[in-house]
Amino acid sequence: MENKGSDEVEKLKTKFLSAWHDVKYSWALKSKTSFSRNSPVLLLGKCYHFKAEDDDSVTEACYQASEEDFVMGNVEAFRKDFASRVWLTYRKDFPSLPGSTLTSDCGWGCMLRTGQMMLAQALILHFLGRDWMWSEALTLQPLDTETWTTAVAKRLVASLEASLHVSAGPSDHGSSPTSKTQAPGSAEEADAHLKEMYHRTLVSWFGDSSSAQLGLHRLVRLGLTMGKQAGDWYGPAVVAHILKKAVEEAVDPGLAGITAYVSQDCTVYSADVIDTSASTPPDSRAVIILIPVRLGGEKTNPEYFDFAKSILSLEYCIGIIGGKPKQACYFVGFQDDSLIYMDPHYCQSFVDVSTSDFPLQSYHCPSPKKMPFSKMDPSCTIGFYSRNVQDYERISQELSKVLQPTAKEKYPAFTFIQGHGRDYNLSAGLTPEKREWPFIRDPRRTVTTAGDFVLL
């Protein structure tokens, strides 16, 4: 009886916390992100500048972005690029998670969501390419004090009203959207239709159900094998290993040619990355490389700021998952000394992605956020995407140059080494959360940020 009573208390606590988190994270406070017109903005290898097109002085500040990746004087291009990234947030009212009665990840699943976003960016590079942008990205409404559900409901009502007006006029049953998409009239339309199919399929892999290949239910189930349960806090290193297992165990044919690799003690062993024991030939196998690192002691060392900027300036970088202590963020770019990130701390309703026409709007974020580098937690995981062996060799050579320590930096954030990890007698008994990372301790430096441009 006593055990039964304690179980009931725990269930009541769970319900109460879930209800509180639903209320806490279902409202997006109206906030405006300030961007300077005088500094370039880097977004996963793409460089944007909001200044006038006749200013030639800004191109030098775009770090390692190539000339073809440089976009000047176009705010809408940046907005569309950012909104095209897949946004995974807290959800509620989905089927119970493995090993628990929880039907929401509000308040604890943010690091898993950031890991999903980073993985989604890798899949976008694989299937769609870095230049792909969602055609409806600029139609998204900015997050305000209303819930996303309310905004969607308003748009649905407006759509229904419009359809009623249309139905009152001449009928046009022969030109439905479905028939148009099934029989595109040009090669461009056919290509756009194919990419949109990839886009929708990709998002469905991250659905909140046990059948979703890379969904929260699958990640939580894999976390159980590492001693993590639904409701626990997941660190960036543990999430990296969970993502690796999820990619390896995915059974969808579309994911057959993709694998994942997690570095060991901040070291990437090249022979392990291109291991020929894979089921697909190594020269045609794409690899998602995940590198857990620690960029300081208790706080991020300011000497790593330029390193992080260099990493986020590379097109094959799929971002950084980390954030503030106990508050995960997905870092996708920067301007000056501020990181640009996607925030998973927003509770949305469950979407059934098994339907062919499920809404995509809630999987894309219209509002970027910024955070000073100085507030970044030093523990994070950096991700890269390599399409094949040749691509990996180029990436490892380029990154090795970026990783060259400066006079002030005594250690690189991570290293590349030829051979297998087993050749170096690594300790295999350490769990991911117990691994140590090299770091530097330096006096704390305060970083201020200012902007004279507001992106709503």
Dist CA 205 CA 159 (whole Å):
28
pLDDT of residue 453: 40
Mean pLDDT of 248-261: 93
Residue for token pair 């009886």: 1
Dist CA 120 CA 136 (whole Å):
18
- pTM of the complete model: 0.79
Mean pLDDT of 69-97: 87
Q: Which amino acid is at 20?
A: W
Q: H/E element holding 92?
A: strand 91-92
Mean pLDDT of 396-425: 83
Mean pLDDT of 233-255: 95
173 noted as active-site residue:
no
- What are the pLDDT digits (tens) for 3-19? 555 555 555 555 555 55
pLDDT of residue 205: 98
| Contact (CB, 8 A) for 416 and 268 | yes
317 noted as active-site residue:
no
Q: Which amino acid is at 136?
A: E
Say yes or no to pLDDT of 120 above 60. yes
How many degrees, rounded to 5, is the angle at CA 329 between CA 321 and CA 293?
30
Record the tokens describing residue 257, joined without a space.
């040619």
Q: How confident is the model at residue 73 (pLDDT cuts 50, 70, 90)?
A: low
Distances (CA, A) of 227 to 188, 222, 232: 49, 9, 10
| Residue-wise burial string across 14-24, b where 16 or more C-beta atoms lie within 10 A, e elsewhere | beebbeebbee
The C-alpha R_g of the chain, in whole angstroms, comes to 23
Distances (CA, A) of 10 to 14, 224, 322, 446: 6, 20, 30, 43
Mean pLDDT of 212-235: 96
Q: How confident is the model at residue 49 (pLDDT cuts 50, 70, 90)?
A: confident
Q: Show the DSSP H helices in 85-186 as ranges.
A: 110-127, 148-168, 177-182
**Selection from 60-64, 382-386, 449-453 with the highest mean pLDDT:** 382-386
Q: What backbone torsions phi and psi does residue 342 show, to the nearest 5 degrees?
A: -105, 135
Decide: helix, strand or coil at residue 414.
Answer: coil
User: Of these residues, 81, 105, 272, 343, which one is catalytic?
Assistant: 343
pLDDT of residue 163: 52
Decide: helix, strand or coil at residue 188.
Answer: helix
User: Of these residues, 62, 110, 317, 365, which one is catalytic?
Assistant: 110
Burial of 401 (0-12, 13-18, 19+ CB in 10 A): exposed
